[in-house]
Amino acid sequence: MPIDIRPIAPADIPAIAALARATWLDAYAGIISRAQIDYMLAQRYDPAQLKADTENPEKWLHQAFIDGIRAGFAACEICGGEFKLDKLYIHPDMQRKGAGAALIAHVAAIARDRGYPGMILAVNKKNEQALRAYARYGFQVRDKTVTDIGNGFIMDDYIMEKHF
């Protein structure tokens, strides 16, 4: 199936926020509480925040379409001098069709073009589907972190890296 990758523009933001919500509710049920999902969605997918992200030259937001249907998106940024995959979300109905792999290949090309030797990401230690996917994409666990994100919530993550 043809997979088309395009930058996320301000006009796409409502659709991206809705896609993020559907994907988070599916992916994180059983991993973090519903209260934490709602808290993190409000923090990260507020339209004003997403619009600011699209305008930041040190952030890259791209979406993938499969047969013309919006399947998912990725967001990257520079973090501590490293190129970081900050978000990768494929709608539950569109998973395992190669959109995640296509987005990873696309952002890895951006990182390589800018001279970064690799890329990193953080993934919840219990997110087995994502851990399998990242291993498939060539990432390895480098570290683990527990981050206090306020309101009594934490993120309990592995840091993974992939060298080009």
Ligand X SMILES: CC(C)(COP(=O)(O)OP(=O)(O)OC[C@H]1O[C@@H](n2cnc3c(N)ncnc32)[C@H](O)[C@@H]1OP(=O)(O)O)[C@@H](O)C(=O)NCCC(=O)NCCS
| Residue in 72, 88, 54 with CA at minimum distance from that of residue 160 | 88
Residue closest to ligand X (Cβ): 100
Nearer to ligand X, 59 or 97 (CB): 97
* Smallest distance, ligand X to C-beta of residue 86, A: 9
Distance CA 88, CA 124 (A): 13
* Smallest distance, ligand X to C-beta of residue 105, A: 10
Residue 107 contacts by C-beta under 8 Å, 6 or more apart in sequence? 60, 62, 74, 76, 85, 119
Nearer to ligand X, 1 or 10 (CB): 1
* Smallest distance, ligand X to C-beta of residue 83, A: 15
Nearer to ligand X, 13 or 84 (CB): 84
Nearer to ligand X, 13 or 20 (CB): 20
Distance CA 4, CA 6 (A): 7
Distance CA 86, CA 157 (A): 13
* Smallest distance, ligand X to C-beta of residue 131, A: 9
Inter-residue contact 88 to 20 (CB < 8 Å): no
Site for ligand X, rule CB under 6 A: 23, 27, 72, 88-90, 95-101, 123, 127, 129-130, 132-133, 136
